[in-house]
Amino acid sequence: MAQASLRNVAAEAGLALGSVRHYFENQAELMEFAFRVNSERIHLRALDKLVELEETELPTEPADLLEKCAGVLEELLPLDAASSADAVVHMEFLLDARTNSLLFDAAQDGYRATGAVVGRVVLQLLENPLAVPGLVPVDEAERLMGLLDGLSLRMVLQPAWAPPAQGQSTLRRHLLSLLVS
Amino acid sequence: MAQASLRNVAAEAGLALGSVRHYFENQAELMEFAFRVNSERIHLRALDKLVELEETELPTEPADLLEKCAGVLEELLPLDAASSADAVVHMEFLLDARTNSLLFDAAQDGYRATGAVVGRVVLQLLENPLAVPGLVPVDEAERLMGLLDGLSLRMVLQPAWAPPAQGQSTLRRHLLSLLVS
DNA sequence: ACTGTTTTAGCACAGATGTCTCACATATAC
DNA sequence: GTATATGTGAGACATCTGTGCTAAAACAGT
């Protein structure tokens, strides 16, 4: 991200510096735009799978229900090269958003988006008769979001220690712990 | 971190540019040093509490055991202003370490350090007769590390949505799920 | 008191970056 | 066909960055 100067962006796009500046008044505007595009791409992947899940009848078999939910949440993990690249960029933007008010608003939208996805999956899961009784949806959503964020972070920062398969199985094991065996 | 230029560092320290350069050959060296100091400070907080836990007899009461373990792991969360600042810096360094070989080695040491702390707490917990039978220590350590990383990230990036108290209670709720009620 | 080392300070250079301004080309509309 | 947006390109400027080099100052041991 430190290399994402106006000149480098222009060169990478095969444009002149002035051309890029024609579309984006500031570098800040360019950055905010890139942030939003990146965030959207990440969340749309999960959202697409989520509507699939909510449209169809939920399976009664625990293993199938779990697989269905894991399939949605998995989309939030950096499993392949493309989503991994998106995840790295997303992290850098989120850190910048802490001190950049333009990015800050974009980050808030992103938080709401993932919160909605995870929250809806948790509801689907906990409203099911197979769920462990007594679990509080809000609390479990918070725990699950924490786990997902952490797994993403680990998979991005230390892919050697946290390969995709391990992330997937950890996610599934966690979801399994929310269901009665 | 983008503001951590040699000149800014020197000014903040009340020194001249040449003085800083006398102690650090490169800026890379300065950065690596700062990274290691910061990492160490984070891990030492948890390690100190861990040796306390391992020295004393473990409580037989579930609530006390949980509190003891949570007390250690809590140290890895950004609960106060000081640890929060450390956590932000740590995150920025970790992202840089992805593409900076000097920082990369330092990051590996850090991963090992937290892995050891979390792993030892998980062992203390799962070897206890109060633990849910059938849990695999390595898997639970991985899940717990993911959760801790994610909670830290959320608490740092969106303190308004993830206040310290919520992080603490989420952590305790997770540990509670590893014990038989 | 002298000497050699450590520490501090300052200057200068090349490179990169954001931003500004102006000139040129190319569509678009009347 | 001409006038008007719209897009493209290039040069210049001030600023900040890391780094190399030099000299003054502070200090230590003898």
Asked whether residue A28, judged by its CB, lies under 7 Å from any atom of the DNA or RNA strand C, the reply is: yes
Measured CA to CA, the distance from residue A92 to residue B159 in angstroms comes to 17
Would an 8 Å CB–CB cutoff place A105 in contact with chain B?
A: no
Tell me the per-residue pLDDT of B63-94, one tens digit each, with 9 for 90 and over: 888 999 999 999 999 999 999 999 999 999 99
Sequence-separated (6 or more) residues with CB below 8 Å from residue A79: A164, A167, A168
Residue B166: which of A92, A107, A142 has the nearest Cβ? A142
Chain B residues whose CB is inside 8 A of the A91 CB are 91, 95
Q: Which nucleotide is nearest to A17 (CA to C1')?
A: D9
Across the interface, do A146 and B147 touch by the CB < 8 Å criterion? Answer: yes
Helix (H, G, I), strand (E, B) or coil at B158: coil
| pTM (global) more than 0.95 | no
Interface-testing mutation among B5, B98, B122, B181, with chain A (most A C-beta atoms within 10 A): B98
Provide the pLDDT for residue B16: 86
Q: Which of B51, B173, B86, B94 is nearest to A144 (CA)?
A: B173
Kindly state the DSSP code that residue A132 receives in the 8-state scheme. Answer: P
Tell me the per-residue pLDDT of A90-146, one tens digit each, with 9 for 90 and over: 999 999 999 998 899 999 999 999 999 999 999 999 998 999 999 999 999 999 999
Contact, A118 vs A73, CB < 8 A? yes
Chain A residues whose CB is inside 8 A of the B114 CB are none
Angle at A93 between CA A91 and CA A96, to 5 degrees: 115
Provide the pLDDT for residue A122: 96
Residue A153: which of B88, B143, B153 has the nearest Cβ? B153
Confidence of residue B15 (pLDDT cuts 50, 70, 90): confident
Measured CA to CA, the distance from residue A98 to residue B135 in angstroms comes to 38
- Does residue B6 carry a pLDDT above 90? yes
Q: Which residue has the tokens 């320290």?
A: B13
Average pLDDT value over all residues in chain A:
93
Provide the pLDDT for residue A148: 98
- Does residue B177 carry a pLDDT above 80? yes
Tell me the per-residue pLDDT of A44-79, one tens digit each, with 9 for 90 and over: 999 999 998 888 877 778 788 899 999 999 999 999
DSSP string covering A48-101, please? HHHHHHHHSPPPSSHHHHHHHHHHHHHTTS--SHHHHHHHHHHHHHHHHHTT-H
Provide the pLDDT for residue A16: 85
Sequence-separated (6 or more) residues with CB below 8 Å from residue A104: A97, A98
Would an 8 Å CB–CB cutoff place A5 in contact with chain B?
A: no
Measured CA to CA, the distance from residue B39 to residue B33 in angstroms comes to 10
Q: Which residue of A has its CA nearest to B154?
A: A146
Confidence of residue B30 (pLDDT cuts 50, 70, 90): very high
- Does residue B59 carry a pLDDT above 80? no
Would an 8 Å CB–CB cutoff place A139 in contact with chain B?
A: yes
Provide the pLDDT for residue A155: 97
Measured CA to CA, the distance from residue A9 to residue A7 in angstroms comes to 5
Interface-testing mutation among B157, B166, B172, with chain A (most A C-beta atoms within 10 A): B157
Tell me the per-residue pLDDT of B145-165, one tens digit each, with 9 for 90 and over: 999 999 999 999 999 999 999
Q: Does residue B58 or residue A20 have the better pLDDT? A: A20
Contact, A155 vs A164, CB < 8 A? yes
**CB neighbours of residue A80 within 10 Å:** 9
Q: Which residue of A has its CA nearest to B90?
A: A95
Beta strands in B138-179 (DSSP E): none
Q: Which residue has the tokens 């946290």?
A: A162
Contact, A47 vs A120, CB < 8 A? no
Provide the pLDDT for residue B181: 74
Tell me the per-residue pLDDT of B17-28, one tens digit each, with 9 for 90 and over: 989 999 999 999
Q: Which residue of A has its CA nearest to B136?
A: A173
Q: Which residue of A has its CA nearest to B151?
A: A146
Measured CA to CA, the distance from residue B74 to residue B30 in angstroms comes to 29
Provide the pLDDT for residue A81: 96
Provide the pLDDT for residue A74: 96
The C-alpha of A133 sits at a distance from chain B's nearest C-alpha, in angstroms, of 13
Domains and CATH numbers, chain B: 26-176 (1.10.357.10)
**How many beta-carbon contacts under 8 Å exist across A and B?**
85
Element (H, E) at B157: helix B137-157
Q: Which residues pair with B131 in a beta bridge?
A: B179
Contact, A122 vs A115, CB < 8 A? no
Nucleotides of chain D touched by protein CB (<7 A): 7-12, 16-23
Sequence-separated (6 or more) residues with CB below 8 Å from residue A20: A6, A9, A10, A13, A30
- Does residue A38 carry a pLDDT above 90? yes
Amino acid, single-letter form, for residue B75: E
Confidence of residue B170 (pLDDT cuts 50, 70, 90): very high
Measured CA to CA, the distance from residue A82 to residue A41 in angstroms comes to 10
The C-alpha of B161 sits at a distance from chain A's nearest C-alpha, in angstroms, of 9
Would an 8 Å CB–CB cutoff place A34 in contact with chain B?
A: no
- Does residue A151 carry a pLDDT above 80? yes
Would an 8 Å CB–CB cutoff place A143 in contact with chain B?
A: yes
